[in-house]
Amino acid sequence: MLKLSAMAQIICIANQKGGVGKTTTAVNLSAALAVSEKRTLLVDCDPQANATTGVGLDKSVLAQTLYHGLIGEAGAGAVIVDSQIECLKVMPSRVELIGFDVEMMDRPHREHALRRLLTTVSDDFDYIVIDCPPSLSLLTVNAMTAADALLIPLQCEFYALEGLSQLVQTFQRIKGGLNPALKIAGILLTMFDRRTNLSHQVAEDAESHFKDLVFKTTIPRNVRLGEAPSFGQPILLYDAMSPGAVSYFSLAKEIMATNHAGHA
Ligand code: ADP
Ligand code: MG
């Protein structure tokens, strides 16, 4: 029988600032894609493993994690586990991932470890969503090298745009060498509070800097989004009718509509 398959679109969620909504976006975007019947893989590239616990996985029972895949001790298939959502699989992380930088120090092509690992399973998925640590370390470089597109969450607060030039520079350096095909999927405004002038100001600033790179969907500040991780559930399972769930579903739709899109 003819097997129709295509490589997954790989979206890397990065911003070296902590607490801007990377993990929340990785978990809930991938859940929304999966609920839309897209075969989705969530890759947790952060040693803090918040995405892993956020989808309800118990780290203590995992035999192998992303770390073992990256250093070549395990194949991708041995690392990938199921989640509570049928179309959503996870490449989990755990604290041992901290050792990755040192482990790879004198290895050639160390920026390509994640790309190599994902290539072997890319045909099995429509989307691969990578959650990055709050740094521009080797792990983030690996994620950007493996990705088709970079999604940048921007928290709607004072100093939101500060540090973005460093991130954009890193994007350009990687595009200039390690991954010429890398695009920007978009800038995502997170924790938007429509009652505050500050949120509107950040949105205006982002739009004047980044124009149509800013997603039409904004993610509101929503208590339910903050609560869901402690129940190990994506927002679509925890409270499907909440504004947070609706907004991540809308983001997924926007991404599905721009097939293999992104901006150069
Ligand atoms: P990062 O991965 O960039 O460090 P997180 O996604 O972990 O950021 O978000 C930081 C904190 O803010 C977490 O406690 C998370 O639950 C909460 N949070 C994220 N997005 C929202 C939102 N839209 N509304 C309310 N709380 C949020
Ligand atoms: Mg995080």
64 Cα: distance to centroid of ligand 2 (angstroms): 21
13, 16, 20, 24: which to mutate for ligand 1, most atoms within 8 A of CB? 24
Strands lying side by side in the sheet with 183-190: 81-82, 88-91, 40-44, 127-131, 9-13, 149-155, 183-190
Q: How confident is the model at residue 223 (pLDDT cuts 50, 70, 90)?
A: very high
Ligand 1 pocket residues where CB is under 6 Å: 18-24, 50, 134, 190-191, 219, 221-222, 225-226, 229, 244
Residue nearest atom 4 in ligand 1 by C-alpha distance: 19
Task: Check: CB of residue 61 under 8 Å from CB of residue 67.
Answer: no
pLDDT digits (tens, 9 = 90+) for 172-204: 999 999 999 999 999 999 999 999 999 999 999
pTM score = 0.95
pLDDT value at 211 more than 70: yes
**Ion ligand 2 — residues with CB < 5 Å:** 22-23, 50
The domain 9-257 is placed in CATH, from the list 3.20.20.70, 3.40.50.300, 3.40.800.20, 3.40.50.1220, at 3.40.50.300
pLDDT at residue number 263:
57
- Can you read off the two tokens belonging to residue 261? 């899109």
Which atom of ligand 1 approaches the CA of 221 most closely?
Answer: 24
pLDDT at 261: 47
CA atoms within 13 A on the CB side of 139: 28
Q: Give pLDDT, residue 71.
A: 96
Q: What is the mean pLDDT of residues 251-258?
A: 96
Instruction: Look at 5 and 98; give whichever has higher pLDDT.
Output: 98
Q: Are 94 and 48 in contact (CB under 8 A)?
A: no
Residue 259 vs residue 137, higher pLDDT: 137
The CA 4 to ligand 2 mean position distance, Å, reads: 35
Measure 104 CA to ligand 2 centroid, in angstroms: 22
Tens digits of residue pLDDT in 6-18: 799 999 999 999 9
The closest-lying atom of ligand 1 relative to the alpha carbon of residue 219 is 23
- Amino acid 158: pLDDT: 81
